[in-house]
């Protein structure tokens, strides 16, 4: 069985353990279980990062000879983006108050869902879309922003359900990175082709612009309106993830 | 700055929607000038076919390039023969063909059909040539051209000459809001980056009996004044 599929399966399993331990720690009120969840998530992050490197590296000419020794299957299509997003969506620093230990499970939930979707794609016969044009800088940037956005989504779910002090930086980082990366791409497009969106498929165009506009609305909202901010963040992240995995 | 950048981008979109235009899928070969929708705008390939020339204000982008040939045919007396690219096309003594796929053309006066098959998508690749008799369809000749499609064949007293003429598929755009959009995006990115990295600080002051208590991220440059309080 291909190495990447094994790694993604392991990562998905460890994330499920992390989610389960998180919920169990809340039911039992035992901090040691939430630390176990934290360790499982760290392990899953490491495994998924290696899986993402192998998956993306298999299509790069400079790394083909090296990656080919480990895994001969060259992957293409949405599964590449899903693996990278799952790896980036796992939070590495978690401070959960004792009154809401169970809520740490919500931090790992988006990453687990992304890893599960990647695993389903890998093991389903014929589901891997062989598109030779998937490995582009735009697709990689979208996957990075989608992964960080999924991490922000986990924090937002924790904020809404357990009323915990909000961690701003994942959302700010995603918003800033999205603005910088796609603003730069728009400048290059303006220079080369004379218009902002020439050469970009409509699905990508709609997803990126929609996510950025919704996130801008979230950034302009006052902090006290948590419910609305949470809804806007969820919509923005889902648009980004949808744009990252939509074939064109 | 962020709001100004956003407004500039929106304004540029309005300008391009009202006064701009875009032409997609223009096929250019040799140095022929193609007219564009607005006024005296035009676009053409450079002499070596690697880039484009265009009128001021137009942005031309080469999306795809590939092999192409210019074909002419002479009879035994040196007279140019008419060539037909399709059954309902106007006869011409010279055809310029972009070899994006297998292409046929006819030499009706010599009862010949010629098939051209590019060997690759490179602009100066070779092409396979098959010449058939019409209407019997019997193959008379099968050859390969030189690099770029250069070749000369003599068939039944007819001299067919192929000259390289690589094609380019070009996107031509006229966008009066281009520089406004660029400026708006730069201002927006700088403003947003600044406000994300240096977000506003919050601190609280509370007066107690003989002093003032401070909580939050109190700026250091105010600390001297705070001691006075």
- Is residue B177 situated within a structural domain? no
In a domain, residue B120? The reply is: yes
Q: Structure tokens of B169?
A: 């598929």
List chain A residues with CB under 8 Å of B175.
190, 194-195
Tokens 């979230």, residue located = A218
Q: Which residue of A has its CA nearest to B61?
A: A193
Inside any domain, residue B197: no
**Burial of A72: CB neighbours in 10 Å, binned 0-12, 13-18, 19+:** exposed
Please indicate whether, in this complex, the C-beta atoms of A180 and B193 are within 8 angstroms of each other: yes
Task: Look at residues B171, B166, B61 and name the one whose alpha carbon lies nearest to residue B122.
Answer: B166
Task: Determine the Cα angle at A122 with ends A116 and A126, to 5°.
Answer: 130
**Chain A residues in contact with B193 (beta carbon < 8 A):** 176, 179-180
For residue A235, what is the enclosing H or E element? helix A226-245
Query: Number of structural domains, chain B?
Result: 1
**Predicted TM-score of the model (pTM):** 0.78
State the pLDDT at residue B229.
45
B128 falls within a domain: yes
- In this structure, what are the phi and psi dihedrals at residue A53, rounded to the nearest 5 degrees? -65, -45
Residue A69, strand partner residues: none
Check residue A106 and report its DSSP letter.
Answer: H
Nearest to B173 among A175, A180, A194 (CB): A194
> Does the residue B215 lie in any domain?
no
- Which residue does chain A place closest to B199, by CA atoms? A172
Q: Helices A169-193 and B178-197 sit at what angle, rounded to 10 degrees?
A: 160
Shortest alpha-carbon distance between residue B98 and chain A (Å): 22
Residue B189 lies in a domain: no
Say if the Cβ atoms of B175 and A186 lie within 8 Å.
no
Domain with B146 in it = 66-165
How far is residue B149's CA from residue B141's CA, in Å, rounded to a whole number?
A: 16
- Is B103 domain-assigned? yes
Q: Return the DSSP state at B92.
A: B
pLDDT in tens, B54-75: 888 899 999 888 889 999 999 8
Residue B83's pLDDT is 92
Integer-rounded Cα Rg, in Å, for chain B is 33
Q: What is the pLDDT of residues B171-222, one digit of tens each?
A: 999 999 999 999 999 999 998 888 877 766 666 677 777 777 776 666 666 6
CB-based burial, A30-48: b 16+ in 10 Å, e otherwise:
eeebbebbbebbbbbbebb
**Structure confidence by residue, pLDDT tens digits, A63-76:** 665 555 555 556 67
Residue B158 forms part of a structural domain: yes
Residue among B6, B202, B181, B14 nearest A216 (CA):
B6
Euclidean distance between CA atoms B63 and A137, whole angstroms: 18
Mean pLDDT for the stretch of residues B18-44: 85
Q: Whole-angstrom Cα distance, residue B195 to residue B151?
A: 65
ipTM value: 0.78
pLDDT at A32 over 50: yes
Name which residue leads in pLDDT, A164 or A158: A158
Q: How far apart are CA A17 and CA A5, in angstroms?
A: 18
Residues of B with CB under 8 A from a CB of A: 9, 13, 16, 20, 22, 58-59, 61, 63, 171, 173-175, 178, 181-182, 185-186, 188-189, 192-193, 196
């Amino acid at each position: 069985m291909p190495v990447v599929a094994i790694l993604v399966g392991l990562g998905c399993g460890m994330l499920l353990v992390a989610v389960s331990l998180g919920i169990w720690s809340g039911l039992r009120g035992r901090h040691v279980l939430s630390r176990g969840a934290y360790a499982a998530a760290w392990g899953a992050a490491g495994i998924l990062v290696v899986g993402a490197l192998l998956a993306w590296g298999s299509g790069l000419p400079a790394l083909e000879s090296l990656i080919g020794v480990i895994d001969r299957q060259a992957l293409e299509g949405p599964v590449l983006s899903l693996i990278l997003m799952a790896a980036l969506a796992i939070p590495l620093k978690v401070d959960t108050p004792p009154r809401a230990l169970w809520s740490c499970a919500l931090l790992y939930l988006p990453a687990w869902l992304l890893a599960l979707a990647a695993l389903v794609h890998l093991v389903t016969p014929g589901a891997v879309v062989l598109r030779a044009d998937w490995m582009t800088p735009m697709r990689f940037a979208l996957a990075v922003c989608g992964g960080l956005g999924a991490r922000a989504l986990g924090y937002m779910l924790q904020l809404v359900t357990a009323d915990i002090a909000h961690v701003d930086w994942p959302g700010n980082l995603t918003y800033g990175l999205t603005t910088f990366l796609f603003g730069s791409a728009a400048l290059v497009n303006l220079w080369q082709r004379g218009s902002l969106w020439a050469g970009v498929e409509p699905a990508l165009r709609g997803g990126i612009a929609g996510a950025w506009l919704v996130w801008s609305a979230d950034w302009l909202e006052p902090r006290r309106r948590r419910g609305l901010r949470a809804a806007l963040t969820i919509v923005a992240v889902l648009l980004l993830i949808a744009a990252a995995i939509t074939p064109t | 700055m962020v709001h100004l950048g956003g407004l500039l981008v929106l304004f540029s979109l309005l300008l391009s929607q009202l006064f701009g235009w875009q032409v997609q899928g223009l096929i250019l070969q040799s140095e022929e000038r193609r007219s564009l929708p607005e006024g005296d705008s035009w676009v053409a390939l450079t002499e070596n076919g690697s880039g484009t020339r265009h009128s001021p204000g137009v942005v031309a982008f080469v999306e795809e390039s590939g092999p192409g040939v210019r074909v002419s045919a002479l009879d035994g007396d040196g007279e140019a023969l008419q060539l037909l690219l399709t059954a309902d096309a106007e006869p011409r003594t010279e055809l310029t063909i972009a070899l994006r796929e297998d292409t046929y053309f006819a030499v009706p006066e010599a009862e010949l059909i010629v098939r051209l098959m590019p060997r690759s998508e490179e602009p100066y690749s070779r092409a396979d040539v098959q010449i058939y008799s019409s209407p019997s369809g019997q193959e008379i000749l099968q050859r390969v051209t030189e690099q770029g499609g250069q070749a000369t064949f003599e068939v039944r007293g007819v001299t067919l000459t192929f000259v390289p003429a690589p094609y380019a598929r070009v996107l031509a755009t006229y966008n009066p809001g281009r520089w406004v959009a660029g400026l708006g995006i730069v201002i927006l990115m700088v403003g947003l980056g600044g406000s994300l990295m240096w977000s506003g600080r919050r601190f609280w002051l509370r007066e107690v009996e003989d002093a003032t208590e401070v909580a939050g991220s109190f700026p250091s440059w105010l600390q001297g004044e705070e001691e006075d309080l």
